[in-house]
């Protein structure tokens, strides 16, 4: 199953300023598979070591002599390690904090070696303080499969080539085919195991069972890694997200978690979920000026889960509602469609996303991002394109350029472009810098 991040890994390999690499990502997004595939395709050999429950690795880090460590890696993996020819992969590195610390010494004393480590953000988030090799590492983030990667996995290469050509209007005649595939992606989401099961068996019950298992694994990892006093709060926040997204106004409400809930009680739990890569937090801005970060309102935010398929499993959305007809696009108050655009954004751009409301909440813009200019983004789950909020914002902020993701065909207008939902990720990826 091809992952497009492999191109970023190749850039890292060939960079003259390369440092040891941490490949981050939530549980089961495919970090291990990707690094192994990268090692097989781009190196002479790969020295792979799993640090989880590995006594040899636990005892290896008595000090940070890099040559001794390399000899140890070679012995444990039973692979000869040659600079420039071998990819050294340390998997589940969060299980050995000293292994994380050692990356500093590989950066300073042995930069000629290609060292890549993988770990669950659930664990890595804990070790972000003392001993973490700040400034001595490169980082890449792996997310669940994007819609384009789903098309690749489904062997829709010709459709994907048309999308990648950036001749967006040429995809309009293919809308029905792409929407049908988008429906399937809404159901499977982007976790590789769920997508693979769907491709191989078309068994929707088996796919949903995989998604449910991933959710249980997340809950188990919360119990394993989170501070004991925060575990109940984290679980409450996590389980409340679907109902929060089902509201017309998707701003996160503490009182919806439990009666009388307050920010002080739950803010650490929310930040823990964000740090762990399980949820995306999108904060409000109150002004359309660069840099948007200056106008951030930390008290108002939306939370999205990291995968559309998990959202479906968390809500027990009937597969027939997702796979048949347009119900998934029109029901649930657009929560699935906003979730889709949010995760496509983070995969495509990997930087911060905001939303906007004015002081009296009469105008709301679903998302806002900046690159060469400020882009207010409206998400429509239907063909109906009427929007007073976006029109008002564009009229009052003439330096902005609007994007509307909807079920309508691609169309460029004077101060706005309508982008079909199935092009969302690729269009965002190609915004000017």
pLDDT digits (tens, 9 = 90+) for 85-104: 999 999 999 889 899 999 99
Give the confidence band of 325 by pLDDT, cuts at 50, 70, 90. Answer: low
First to last CA, the chain: 29
More confident residue, 239 or 225: 239
Average pLDDT over residues 15-41: 95
Average pLDDT over residues 243-248: 88
Q: What confidence score (pLDDT) does residue 119 get?
A: 81
Query: Does the pLDDT of residue 81 top 50, yes or no?
Result: yes
Average pLDDT over residues 373-383: 88
Task: Give the residue ranges of DSSP H helices in 279-423.
Answer: 308-315, 319-323, 327-330, 335-349, 388-396
* DSSP label at residue 316: T
Query: Does the pLDDT of residue 198 top 80, yes or no?
Result: yes
Query: Does the pLDDT of residue 314 top 70, yes or no?
Result: yes
CATH homologous superfamily of domain 6-141? P-loop containing nucleotide triphosphate hydrolases (3.40.50.300)
Average pLDDT over residues 239-266: 91
Give the confidence band of 333 by pLDDT, cuts at 50, 70, 90. Answer: low
Query: Does the pLDDT of residue 385 top 70, yes or no?
Result: no
Give me 128's structure tokens: 């972000």
pLDDT digits (tens, 9 = 90+) for 392-403: 999 999 999 999
Rg of the chain taking only CA atoms, in angstroms: 22
| Span of 116-125, 174-183, 377-386 with lowest mean pLDDT | 116-125
pLDDT digits (tens, 9 = 90+) for 273-287: 998 889 999 999 999
Q: Are 61 and 68 in contact (CB under 8 A)?
A: no
- What residue has token string 């460590």? 69
- Domain ranges across the chain: 6-141, 147-429
**CA diameter of the chain:** 66
Give the confidence band of 130 by pLDDT, cuts at 50, 70, 90. Answer: very low
Query: Does the pLDDT of residue 148 top 90, yes or no?
Result: yes
Query: Does the pLDDT of residue 382 top 80, yes or no?
Result: no
- What residue has token string 């999108």? 282
Give the confidence band of 125 by pLDDT, cuts at 50, 70, 90. Answer: low
Query: Does the pLDDT of residue 247 top 70, yes or no?
Result: yes
Query: Does the pLDDT of residue 66 top 80, yes or no?
Result: yes
- What residue has token string 């669950």? 120
Query: Does the pLDDT of residue 386 top 80, yes or no?
Result: no
Task: Give the residue ranges of DSSP H helices in 61-141.
Answer: 66-77, 97-109, 121-124
Residues 6+ apart with CB under 8 A from 5: 34, 140, 142
Q: What confidence score (pLDDT) does residue 134 get?
A: 82
Residues of the chain above pLDDT 70, percent: 94
Residue from 226, 352, 331 nearest 282 by CA: 352
Residues 6+ apart with CB under 8 A from 15: 138
The chain-wide mean pLDDT, for the chain, equals 91
Give me 326's structure tokens: 């347009």
Average pLDDT over residues 19-23: 97
């Amino acid at each position: 199953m091809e992952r497009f991040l492999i191109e970023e890994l190749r850039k890292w390999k060939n960079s003259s300023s390369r440092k040891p690499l941490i490949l981050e990502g939530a549980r089961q997004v495919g970090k291990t598979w990707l690094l192994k595939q990268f090692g097989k395709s781009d190196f002479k050999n790969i020295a792979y070591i799993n640090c989880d429950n590995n006594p040899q690795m636990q005892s290896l880090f008595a000090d940070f002599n890099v040559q001794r460590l390399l000899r140890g890696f070679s012995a444990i993996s039973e692979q000869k390690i040659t600079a420039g020819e071998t990819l050294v992969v340390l998997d589940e590195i969060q299980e050995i904090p000293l292994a994380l610390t050692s990356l500093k010494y590989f950066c300073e004393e042995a930069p000629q070696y290609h060292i890549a480590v993988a770990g669950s953000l659930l664990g890595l988030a804990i070790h972000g303080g003392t001993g973490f090799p700040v400034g001595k590492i490169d980082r890449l983030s792996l997310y669940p499969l994007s819609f384009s990667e789903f098309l690749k996995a489904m062997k829709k290469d010709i459709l994907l080539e048309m999308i990648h050509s950036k001749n967006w209007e040429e995809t309009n005649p293919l809308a029905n085919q792409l929407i049908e595939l988008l429906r399937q992606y809404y159901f499977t989401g982007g976790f590789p195991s769920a997508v693979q099961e769907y491709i191989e068996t078309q068994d929707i019950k088996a796919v949903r069972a995989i998604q449910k298992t991933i959710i249980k694994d997340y809950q188990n990892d919360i119990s394993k890694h989170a501070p004991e006093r925060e575990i109940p709060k984290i679980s409450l926040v996590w389980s409340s997200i679907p109902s929060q997204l089902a509201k017309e106004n998707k701003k996160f409400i503490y009182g919806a978690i439990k009666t009388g809930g307050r920010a002080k009680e739950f803010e650490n739990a929310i930040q823990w979920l964000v740090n762990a890569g399980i949820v995306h937090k999108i904060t409000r801005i109150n002004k359309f000026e660069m840099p948007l970060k200056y106008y951030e309102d930390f008290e108002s935010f939306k939370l999205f889960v990291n995968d559309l398929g998990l959202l479906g499993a968390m809500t027990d959305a009937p597969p027939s509602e997702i796979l048949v007809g347009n119900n998934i696009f029109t029901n649930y108050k657009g929560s699935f469609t906003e979730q889709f655009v949010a995760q496509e954004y983070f995969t495509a751009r990997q930087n911060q996303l905001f939303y906007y409301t004015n002081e009296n909440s009469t105008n709301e813009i679903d998302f806002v991002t900046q690159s060469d200019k400020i882009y207010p983004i409206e998400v429509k789950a239907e063909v109906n394109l009427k929007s007073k909020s976006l029109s008002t914002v564009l009229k009052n902020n003439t330096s902005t350029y609007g994007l509307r993701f909807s079920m309508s065909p691609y169309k460029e207008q004077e101060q706005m472009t309508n982008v079909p939902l199935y092009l969302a990720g690729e269009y965002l990826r190609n915004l000017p810098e």
